Amino acid sequence: MPSLTRDEAVARADLLTVSLMEVELDLDRGAQTFGSVTRIHLTASGDGQTFVDVKPETLHRATIDGADLDVTSLREGRLPLAVTAGEHVVEVEATMAYSHDGEGLHRATDPADGEDYVFSHLFLDAAPAVFACIDQPDVKAPYAVSVKAPPEWHVIGNGSGTIADGGVWHLAQTRPLSTYFVALCAGPYVSVTDEHDGIRLGLWARRSLRQQLQEHAPEMLEVTRRSFDYFHSIFGIRYPFDDYDQVFVPEFNAGAMENPGCVVVRDAYLFRGAVGRDELLTRANTISHEMAHMWFGDLVSPQWWDDLWLNESFAEYMAHRCLVEATEYTEAWVDSTMSRKSWGYGAERSPSTHPVAGSPAPDAKSALANFDGISYAKGAAVIRQLIEFIGDDAFLEGIRDYLTEHSFGNGTLAGFLAAMSRASGQDLAAWSAAWLETSGVDTIAVDRAAGTVTRRAPADHPAQRPHALDIATYSGGVESSRTTLTLETDSAPVAGVDLTAPLVLPNAGDRTWATPLLDEQSLAALRTELPAMTDAQARAVIWVGLRDGAALGQVDPRLLVDLGEAALVTETNDSIFSRAGMHLTNRVIRVLLPEEEQDAARARMTAVGEQVLATAEPGSSLALHAARLVARTTDDVEGRLVPWAHGRDLPVGLEGDADFRWILIGQLTRRGILTGDEVDEALAQDRTMTGQLGALTARAAIPTEAGKAAAWADLTTNRERSNHELVAIAAGFWGPADRSLVEPYVERYFADIPPMSAWLGEDALARVATMAYPSRFVSERTLELSRATLARTDIDQGVRRAIVDAQSELEEALASRRAFPAARP
């Protein structure tokens, strides 16, 4: 289907204003389709030809002011519409299809009890698959929604709901919303409710997750209350919508979606087994992030998709700030460095890198291709630099100005900069051009001999970015000096730091967006300094800097393995231990190291896990992560994998943990020790959605020709699979020790994955394409096949972006292996 262009959106917004959307949905028609009736109350500024967006299974009728429209004129989701100046009502009746790819109105069946659950996800252009509309972010309108549902179902939406005779739910009319924020969740959901500061709070989940919901509700509600208090205190505008519901739904594509008053969250956050503190922090960050969107994104929405950063960068920054200042998760910026900024730096290294803002998006799908770690993590880092530049008081004053001026409307980069300039009294044009409107990440290095600090922008993305940063030095793991400065030129003298110290660390506090390059003396000192360092933020900066260095072919991946062995055994921060451990096992060892060195390096990580498991407090978060590290890496089948899988000799806190058991089952299946029948037996003991996904991953890992053929066919031809099921299959496919079993599928990936766009949504397929990419096969042949695929003109944009990014990582791996080859025997 054609993607709405910016020119089309501008013309339509000039012609049409929508004053009210009336939407009637009938969800009581079975599991495949639902009824949709929409009345669009609009005003035309003049006579003109335009169109309504609608993507039905069947379009039954359409009228304007009671006169029939030609329903046979519908083409590719666009129903032509001729209007005259003045007010009109367009009514559209259609039968719509439920989706199974996480877009539109998604319907999922819970295998635990056979109950069905429905939720909407209308970002970026999926709203017309639920109701007819003028689908663009700058056409906002109030919504009056009614829903007919089965009698045992509960309906949750943007407005509080009441049920009338006939099983019809009426949701309170909303304030003006962009189409992609309309929310609907329906099914036999269960809830925990509360009230805070006059706002009714609701947490909702599948009936089979009632126990987990009740167990986790107190902590989640506490984060919710504290976030409300904090944002009210700094924004100067009260929460501007109705009740505040957070609905935990199955098979959601993202972490969460910020629908006003009805936040949709992936229900994997209702942890059913042992959980690490970093995982609780991630969930708390998601809760706070989505709440920040009630102001940034919902109250003020982007005028066009290339200003999505005004949503995500601010929510990313505000959530971390809120956690640090208003909750117990005071280490949130350390977690941001390890999880979020590393994601953003990876996006910056890719050929698909783009500016935070001002990147022209000629159509909606082009904007979606630029929706990544740059939009989130880099944008948040740039906001921290803006605060350094204009001061926090001016920043908060500018926010209040911006939100007040554009309330229930739309914002732009120009409007944001104008508000910040008024508050600070500074012209921000040059600052914006350097930080928001250019791509690339600078490197920051200290020259000990010259006593200077230098910055270097990427050659293909030149820029003059001023960096407010700090430089710290360490000896014996203890900070020996620190200085702060603003680097406005390519080189500047460094004063106030001990340049004779073993370790000199630029950007030690992670205040800016840059890759710290360590000098040779500092790199050599890491083996002794990093294990002894008490500054968690500095440790995180080192790990992420080394990650970048290894990806760029500047740091030997063996150094990262050495440091993992030396430093992770003394690591006390959950985010650092878990994220560094995952990066070492999944990327450094599995991809960057030569194949003949991988087994030995993996065994060293097993030893790290065993040592931490033996010394950490039993049942602690670090002990949990250590046990997971052992389970992922050990070759001790009889001493570890088999007894743990059978519930024997488990670490404290992992007794009965079904999720941990699926890790073990996957490892045993990958080795050919468990068969498909035994996977079925395990699934019979865990008939949940999570168990189903674990079984799909384990079954896809079966190391036989027949097993691989069946898994590949399931992945690439089974149109009944949900988005999450496909990702689970892809996750288990490439792992056998005998690489020859899957090598034929390297070529088949490039032939079989792109055509799946015929039945799978773009966002869902992009996730499948990323997970299924044959990254384990680091060869020129894989690169040749990848490049040939990207040369085709018939590739879906989401798949293209997934392959571009995966290919970039493949090229990094090839460069690393050339720079640091295996030693000759």
- Phi/psi region, residue 510 (left: phi>0; alpha: psi -120 to 50; beta: rest), is left
Alpha carbons 205 and 211: distance in angstroms, whole number: 10
Given 400, 435, 470, which residue is the final one in a domain?
A: 435
What pLDDT is attached to residue 369?
Answer: 73
In a domain, 227, yes or no: no
How far apart (Å, rounded) are the C-alpha atoms in residues 76 and 62?
16
Quick one: 24 and 54 in the same domain? yes
Q: Domain check: are 624 and 718 in the same one?
A: no
**Given strand 184-187, what is the order of strands in its sheet?**
104-109, 116-121, 184-187, 154-157
User: What pLDDT, on the 0 to 100 scale, is given for residue 677?
Assistant: 95
Q: How far apart are CA 90 and CA 74, in angstroms?
A: 15
Among 435, 451, 475, the domain-final residue is 435
**Catalytic one among 258, 290, 348, 388?**
290
**Does residue 406 share a domain with residue 449?**
no
Domain tally, the chain: 4
CA of residue 599 relative to chain centroid, distance: 31
* Whether 479 and 579 share a structural domain: yes
For the stretch 20-73, pLDDT in tens is 999 999 999 999 999 999 999 999 999 999 999 999 999 999 999 999 999 999
CB-CB neighbours of 363 under 10 Å:
18
In the numeric block, which tokens belong to residue 206? Answer: 């599948």
The CATH code of the domain that includes 328 is 1.10.390.10
Contact indicator for 115, 687 with CB cutoff of 8 Å:
no
- Would you list the DSSP string of 650-683? PPTT-TT-HHHHHHHHHHHHHTTSS-HHHHHHHH
Specify if 696 maps to a domain. yes
Q: Within a domain: residue 727?
A: yes
For residue 31, give the 3-state DSSP assignment.
coil
Burial class (CB in 10 A: 0-12, 13-18, 19+), 42: buried
Q: Domain residues for 510?
A: 443-709
Residues 416 and 463 in one domain: no
Q: Based on the domain organization, do 485 and 629 belong to the same domain? A: yes
471 and 415, same structural domain? no
User: Which tokens go with 85?
Assistant: 């100046």
**Contact status, residue 114 vs residue 207, Cβ threshold 8 Å:** no
In a domain, 656, yes or no: yes
Tell how far CA 121 is from the center of its chain: 15
Is residue 255 one of the residues assigned to a domain?
A: no
Residue 250 domain-assigned?
Answer: no
Domain termination site, one of 681, 709, 737: 709
User: Is residue 415 domain-shared with residue 456, that is, in the same domain?
Assistant: no
DSSP H stretches of helix in 376-516: 379-390, 392-405, 413-424, 429-435
Answer yes or no: are the C-beta atoms of 485 and 469 closer than 8 Å: yes
Q: Which long-range contacts (CB under 8 A, 24 or more apart) does 615-622 make?
A: 615/569, 618/651, 618/652, 618/653, 619/274, 619/651, 619/652, 619/653, 621/275, 621/276, 621/277, 621/278, 621/574, 622/571, 622/572, 622/574, 622/577
Please indicate whether residue 290 is annotated as part of the active site: yes
CA angle 704, 708, 713 (to 5 degrees): 150
What is the residue-averaged pLDDT of the chain? 96
Residue 456 φ/ψ, nearest 5 degrees:
-140, 125
Whether residues 550 and 674 share a domain: the answer is: yes
Is there a single domain that holds both residue 551 and residue 687? yes
Please tell me the predicted confidence (pLDDT) of residue 825: 64
| 777 and 650 both lie in a single domain | no
In a domain, 383, yes or no: yes
Q: Which residues of the chain have pLDDT under 50?
A: none
Looking up residue 9, the CATH number of its domain turns out to be 2.60.40.1730
Please report the pLDDT score of residue 256 as a whole number.
97
CA distance 810 to 592: 9
Q: Are residues 430 and 451 in the same domain?
A: no
SS3 per-residue string spanning 714-772? HHHHCCCCCHHHHHHHHHHHCCCCCHHHCCHHHHHHHHHCHHHHHCCCHHHHHHHHHHH
Which pTM does this prediction carry?
0.96
In a domain, residue 200? The reply is no
